[in-house]
Structure 1
């Protein structure tokens, strides 16, 4: 990835027909010594709970 890809979503269970899925991470960083590989934080239960709480407010 190159500059500008940061923040791009990572989806699991993505359905191309409906365009829906579960966002599990975002492009965040890479290492020069490990080319062609991006890393990102895993959105676990804390992120899900925060999202659900924000939706109900």
Structure 2
């Protein structure tokens, strides 16, 4: 059984959205699927990272 997903609303810069849309399309994924994938990869590679932006 797939894990349940929860809907969230976020605000992103326009240039980030455009880049994500292009990359999602190149991977044949929806924007939401691609963002989820990118975030999962980031969290896996950076456990408990406390980075100031």
TM-score of the superposition, structure 2-length normalised?
A: 0.32
Task: State the structure with more CA Rg.
Answer: 1
Judging by fraction of residues, say which structure has more helix.
2
Structure holding more strand per residue: 1
